[in-house]
Chain A
Amino acid sequence: MSLLDILTKDVIAVPLKVQNKNEAIRELIDLLYSNGQITDKDEVYDAIMTREDKGSTGLEKGIAVPHAKTAAATKLTAAIGISPEGIEFGSLDGSPSKLIFLVLAPPASSGAHIALLSEIARLSQYQSLCEELVEAESAEKVLSILQGEE
Chain B
Amino acid sequence: MSDIIRSILVYIDGTEQSVVAAHYAVCLAKTLNTELSALFVVNTQALGTLVKSRIFLQDEEAEYRRDLNADAERYLKHVQTIGQAKGVDIKLLNKSGSVSGEIKKCVKENDIDLLIIGELSRIKSRRDQFYDETERAMRSVSCSVLMVKDDERVWSMYDNLL
B-binding residues in A (CB < 8 A): 1-2, 4-5, 51, 54-55, 57, 59, 65, 67, 92, 110-115, 117-124, 146-148
Contact = CB atoms under 8 A, between A and B. Distances in A.
A110 B55 contact: no
Interface stretch (B107-115, B122-130, B144-152): B122-130
Given A110-B64, A111-B13, A114-B46, A57 B125 contact: no
Contacts of A119: 131
Given A54-B57, A114-B47, A147-B126, 16 more contacts: A2-B128, A5-B121, A5-B124, A57-B54, A67-B55, A110-B68, A112-B15, A113-B64, A115-B43, A115-B46, A117-B55, A117-B56, A122-B127, A123-B127, A147-B124, A148-B127
B119 interface: no
14 contacts: A5-B124, A51-B60, A59-B54, A110-B71, A111-B13, A111-B68, A113-B64, A114-B46, A114-B47, A114-B68, A118-B46, A121-B49, A124-B53, A148-B126
B73 interface: no
Interface string B57-75: 1011000100110010000
B14 interface: yes
Contacts of A5: 121, 124
B14 A111 contact: yes
A146 B131 CA distance: 14
Consensus secondary structure, chain A interface:
helix
A65 B55 contact: yes
A110 B61 CA distance: 11
Interface in B82-139: 121, 124-128, 131
A119 B100 CA distance: 16
Contacts of A4: 124-125, 128
